Amino acid sequence: MTYIINNPFTGTSKMASGNVKYHLMINYRSYTVEELATDDMFRRWVMDSTPEISFFWQRWTAENPDRRPIVNQAKELVLAVHEIYKDDLNGEVLSREIEEIVRLAELKKQQSEGKILRLPMIWRAAAVLLLVSGLGIFYYLGQSSKTTALVPHLVAEKNDSMLVRSNSTQQEMTVLLSDNSVATLVKGSTITFPKQFNRSERRVYLTGEAFFDVTKNPEQPFLVYTNETVTKVLGTSFRVKAFDQENTVMVVVKTGRVSVYPKKEYETIATSTVKKISGVVLNPNQQVVFIRNENRLKRGNVANPQMLSESIVQKELIFDDKPVTQVLQTLEKVYGIEISYDTEILADCVISAQFNDETLKQRMNAICQAIGASYEVVNGQIVIISKGCSQAL
């Protein structure tokens, strides 16, 4: 496997994988949402990626952070149109449907303002994301029969884009979320979450017990829904225990602040004139128990310190001048996850580390900091972005 980035800032690149070669001389920085969504290499990254393609796009977005919203919106658009047409999708159909979605979004905006105008590209990009995420389906109502026929498909896409992970094993299961957050499921637990979170919130649904290590984002609250409670955080680590057969739901906080609400009250706040609901705010080493048959929350200090750990199994690891590729392979086995990286680029990277009770995110951050790299979660796997270590030696 070989991979060369000649100019990642402009998107100019050359890469080869086996007998297939791609020669790209493209300035992706100038691409709109629609242009990205119809680009062959971009669509392959979203729908059927290879390690080389994933490496290119993750590196490109890391070095062009101002274009990341455009990239995320284009991904949403590709997924939506692909779900409608499945195997019948071709370049012509893709371009036509993307153009139609944007046109309808613009038309609705123009009608609401009572005038015809050319909308700024930034609004168009936001409208595309709004449409394909299922939040703006009403834009299609009253349009042509062809457009109306798309509505149920887009609604279905919203449901199909939800992923379900159930742990039926005796071991804990590590689940990687698209925002770099991590959920650790115990036996008999299930988590439901979207492939990509929308811009307003990060919502997951839990049955059973899981420890969450959430990436901080004040603009995008993280919500854990159980049958009776909603736990809301901006970025922290905590555990939720909510088995259907038990009479209680428990939330314990390791770091940061967590708000917990009765689910019925939280869901009715949007349509209610009452803006205050009876939730509780938890600080580190605090817990709250929701008593189901009494429909009330009871706050206190954490009674079982073991609940504050990401894993109930001690995962102590010691590495002494080990190749980082070997370290990453060990983490893959320990956590049951996939870590993607370029072996040649990391060939000269060697680290020493001792891990005790750190979370997976803390371990990944430490490793990446040691070798001057970074990482992101893409399609349920960790992708390492690195320039290598040879220059530092």
67 vs 9: CA distance, rounded Å: 11
Give how far Cα 112 sits from Cα of 38, 108, 122, 349, Å: 29, 6, 18, 57
d(CA 252, CA 237): 9
**How far from 264 is each of 200, 225, 229, CA to CA, in Å?**
20, 11, 8
Residue 205, SS3 per DSSP: strand
What domains can be seen in the chain, in order of their start residue? Answer: 1-160 (no CATH), 162-308 (2.60.120.1440), 317-392 (3.55.50.30)
CA distance 175 to 191: 9
Q: Please report, in tens digits, the pLDDT of each residue of the chain (393 residues total).
A: 233 333 333 444 444 333 333 334 467 888 887 778 778 788 888 877 777 788 888 888 888 888 888 888 788 777 766 654 444 445 555 555 555 555 555 554 454 444 433 333 433 443 344 443 433 322 232 333 323 333 333 333 344 478 999 999 889 999 999 999 999 999 999 999 998 998 889 999 999 999 999 999 988 999 999 988 999 998 899 999 999 888 899 999 999 999 999 888 887 765 555 556 668 999 999 999 999 888 889 999 998 888 888 887 777 899 999 999 999 999 999 999 999 999 999 999 999 988 988 899 999 999 999 999 999 998 889 999 998 887 543
Q: Identify the residue whose tokens are 């009674």.
A: 303
Q: 74 and 126 in contact (C-beta within 8 Å)?
A: no
**Model pLDDT, residue 234:** 85
User: Residue 13 — φ and ψ, nearest 5°?
Assistant: -155, 165
Are 220 and 178 spatial neighbours (Cβ–Cβ below 8 Å)? no
Would you state the pLDDT for residue 156? 36
**Residue of 390, 389, 386 whose CA lies nearest to 5:** 386
The first and second tokens of residue 252, run together, are 């314990």
Supply the DSSP string of 251-299, one letter for each residue: EEEEES-EEEEEHHHHHHGGG-S------EEE-TTEEEEEEGGGTEEEE
Structure tokens at 29: 């920085």
Q: Residue 24: what pLDDT?
A: 44
Give the pLDDT confidence score for residue 330 in this predicted structure: 94
Do 290 and 229 touch, CB atoms closer than 8 A? yes
